[in-house]
Amino acid sequence: MKAAVYYETGNPSVFRYEDVPDPDCGPGDVLIKVAAISIEGGDTLARARGALATRPHIVGYQAAGEIVQVGAEVSHLAPGERVVTIDLHGSHAALRRVPARNAWPIPDALDTRAAAAIPIGFATAHDGLFEFGRLKSGETVLVQAGASGVGIAAIQLAHRAGARVLATASSDDRLDRLMRLQLGLDHGINYAAEDVARAVKRLTDGKGADLVIDPVGGTTLESSIAALAHRGRVSLVGAAGRSPSRVDAGTLISGSRSLVGVLLAAEIATDRVHDTIERLIADAAAQRLKVVIDRTFPLAEAAAAHAHIESRQAVGRVLLIP
């Protein structure tokens, strides 16, 4: 099969488009013909500085496609079904093997490309908002990196839960595009032009945000904490930032504020998260949630796709198509 591989970590130019052996389908696995690959934030981080579990390595958490083979122990899925899948790596390829538990059927009403972008981003946002963020109707939520896949999911989920939603992005153009999508964003903040914490305090009459969803970390986490209201919470759901964080935990004490780390991978084996993803897919199929695709690239152009993401121009997910 064809795959986008690399032999060493680094910038997007490390990708090579090569023939590699087809994966074997174990007794508890499904093998899919990949139709769409959603490039997740963790994929770019793994390519830049992650460990190589294989050599050559096929990066990638999430992809959707059609089942071509099921293992002997799999009875709830069958060849020909469309599914969206998650695993630790292996998405950037024409074929993919995953444990059957990590494959969710795609409803007839949902496009495969849209389904490819749902599980990780939407479930991460959901956990950050509700399971760990304890969001209540009427609260104010700040979504850092609002134009990211997690950000777009968080804006929608927070809005439909009755929250007032603020979000940051790197330019006025990206904020304008977010507003035009009508996701439920109340106010946008250009973090390149304005101090985020001051902007949040101005927009909340000095109170601050009750909850911050932060998929970036690093210096962004410092602004997330500074933007909090009394008893406000930060859900740190990712580490997409390239700068280290030097947060003084003591700054949380004065306002009885809290910071919690949220890692979907640590929860993915639970029935709770499995069922949450199933519900989110159903919501997208019923058009209760919107999946935003920024651009698609051929799998052979994985380097260009990763570079586009890292240019911070995208609004929504970037897909690779084998």
For domain 2-117+291-321, which CATH number applies: 3.40.50.1820, 3.30.530.20, 3.90.180.10, 1.10.3720.10? 3.90.180.10
d(CA 276, CA 126): 8
- Per the structure block, which two tokens stand in for 256? 């009885």
d(CA 150, CA 50): 21
157: Cα within 13 Å, side-chain hemisphere: 31
120-265 — its CATH code?
3.40.50.720
- The pLDDT score that the predictor gives to residue 242 is 64
Residues of the chain with CATH 3.90.180.10: 2-117+291-321
d(CA 110, CA 121): 17
Q: How far apart are the first and last CA of the chain?
A: 10
Share of the chain above pLDDT 90, in %: 94
**Closest-CA residue to 133 (of 224, 265, 240):** 224
Residues of the chain with CATH 3.40.50.720: 120-265
pLDDT grade for 180, boundaries at 50, 70 and 90: very high
- Is pLDDT at 249 greater than 90 in this prediction? no
- The pLDDT score that the predictor gives to residue 250 is 80
- What values do phi and psi take at 237, rounded to 5? -105, 5
Q: Answer yes or no: are the C-beta atoms of 59 and 6 closer than 8 Å.
A: yes
Q: Report pLDDT digits (tens) over 24-71.
A: 999 999 999 999 999 999 999 999 999 999 999 999 999 999 999 999
d(CA 272, CA 276): 6
